[in-house]
């Protein structure tokens, strides 16, 4: 595997899940594979889990890791070709990506959606800029439209905790004061669609329809209570509207996840989460919350993705 950009880069779900379980049991088993290799991590946006879990995964694989908060510390990058660079942008992606390729063997990039420039976001301007001009494999650490490391960690978590072959999994929108990207929801939907053994559906208020090319035939309900009935796993996430792009249409607090709504289901969220806005305290602090286990699985998701990349070098 040359890159891990999208969940479609997972060639065999079952073998990736087995490998994640193996890495969790014996984290340093493949330490030799990354020895002498450098992982560069460029962050255009904030992070806690992605940054630390990917560094830990690299450590397990024997890699040296270099991290840069590019958004604050790097030169402002130009992505357009043929531009007269006489304004704020100091460096072109063409040079930046080639230079980084000389220092690193694998490059992780985090670059969120602008939520204002839909065309640029959907073209994955930053991620694909590095993919185009770097000569090394790229690891997507959350891009404008996807978060494949999170989705893989989510799948690992469900697989570890399900007691059924065909659990009911519901993705529920919840309120949030700010406009948030679609990336986590998109990749979760994608990985659920790739695993048709799950009885998967989505619930959100009217107007929060996600990209139909991603949702495809997944059932969608505007009635959260009926959608959550008898669920085994409830994955909660806010996202802004897809149309009109990036707007907050409503913040109805009735969509917050409460213990009553959750019932016996397990609660999932990618974190960070706003307490008593997205979900009430008693759910997060209760026995049915899987959020800490999900965050732990970010290490093994990153380790499997890096391992697959290292095998192809």
Looking at residue 196, the DSSP 8-state letter turns out to be T
In the block, residue with structure tokens 């390729």: 101
Give yes or no for a contact between 246 and 179, defined as CB atoms under 8 angstroms apart.
Answer: yes
Q: Minimal CB distance to ligand CP: which residue?
A: 50
User: What distance in Å separates the CA atoms of residue 250 and residue 207, rounded to the nearest whole number?
Assistant: 9
Choose one: 11-19, 59-67, 266-274, 302-310; the region binding ligand CP (CB under 6 A). 266-274
**Residue 50 contacts ligand CP per CB under 6 A:** yes
From the CB of 114, what's the least distance to ligand CP, in Å? 17
Choose one: 124-132, 162-170, 174-182, 265-273; the region binding ligand CP (CB under 6 A). 265-273
From the CB of 150, what's the least distance to ligand CP, in Å? 5
Choose one: 44-52, 240-248, 257-265, 305-313; the region binding ligand CP (CB under 6 A). 44-52
Q: Which is nearer to ligand CP, 47 or 172 (CB)?
A: 47
Q: Which residue among 3, 37, 49, 204 contacts ligand CP (CB under 6 A)? A: 49
Task: Tell me the two tokens of residue 30.
Answer: 């493949």
Contacts (CB under 6 A) with ligand CP, residues 116-155: 142, 150
Choose one: 4-12, 45-53, 86-94, 252-260; the region binding ligand CP (CB under 6 A). 45-53
In the block, residue with structure tokens 């998701």: 301
Q: Which is nearer to ligand CP, 149 or 227 (CB)?
A: 149
In the block, residue with structure tokens 């997944």: 218
Sheet holding 233-237, edge to edge: 220-221, 199-203, 168-173, 233-237, 266-268
In the block, residue with structure tokens 């009553």: 260
Q: Which residue among 2, 18, 35, 48 contacts ligand CP (CB under 6 A)? A: 48
3-state secondary structure of 266: strand
**Residue 266 contacts ligand CP per CB under 6 A:** no
Task: Tell me the two tokens of residue 264.
Answer: 């016996």
From the CB of 268, what's the least distance to ligand CP, in Å? 11
Could you give the C-alpha distances from 245 to 121, 179, 189, 209, 271, in angstroms and in order?
11, 10, 19, 11, 23
Q: Please give the residue ranges that form the binding site for ligand CP (CB under 6 A).
A: 47-50, 142, 150, 270-272
């Amino acid at each position: 595997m040359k890159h891990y950009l999208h969940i479609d880069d997972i060639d065999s779900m079952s073998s990736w899940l087995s490998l994640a379980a193996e890495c969790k049991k014996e984290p340093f088993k493949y330490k030799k594979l990354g020895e002498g290799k450098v992982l560069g991590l460029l962050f255009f946006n904030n992070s806690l889990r992605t940054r630390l879990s990917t560094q830990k995964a690299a450590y397990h694989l024997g890699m040296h890791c270099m991290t840069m908060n590019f958004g604050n510390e790097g030169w402002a990058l130009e992505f357009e070709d043929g531009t007269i660079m006489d304004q704020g942008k100091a460096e072109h992606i063409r040079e930046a990506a080639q230079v980084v390729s000389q220092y690193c063997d694998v490059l992780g990039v985090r670059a969120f959606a602008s939520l204002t420039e839909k065309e640029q976001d959907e073209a994955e301007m930053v991620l694909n800029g590095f993919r185009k001009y770097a000569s090394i494999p790229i690891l997507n650490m959350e891009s404008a439209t996807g978060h494949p490391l999170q989705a893989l960690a989510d799948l690992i978590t469900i697989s570890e905790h399900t007691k059924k072959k065909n659990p009911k999994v519901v993705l529920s929108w919840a309120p949030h004061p700010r406009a948030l990207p679609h990336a986590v929801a998109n990749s979760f939907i994608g990985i659920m669609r790739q695993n048709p053994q799950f009885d998967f559906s989505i619930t959100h208020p009217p107007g929060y329809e996600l990209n139909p090319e991603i949702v495809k035939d997944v059932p969608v309900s505007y009635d959260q209570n009926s959608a959550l009935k008898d669920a085994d796993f409830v994955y909660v996430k806010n996202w802004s509207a897809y149309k009109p792009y990036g707007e907050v249409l409503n913040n109805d607090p009735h969509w917050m996840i409460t213990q009553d709504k959750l019932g016996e289901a397990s609660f999932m969220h990618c974190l960070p989460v706003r307490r008593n806005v997205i979900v009430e305290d008693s759910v997060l602090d209760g026995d049915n919350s899987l959020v800490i286990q999900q965050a732990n699985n970010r290490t093994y998701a990153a380790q499997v993705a890096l391992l697959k990349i290292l095998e192809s070098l």
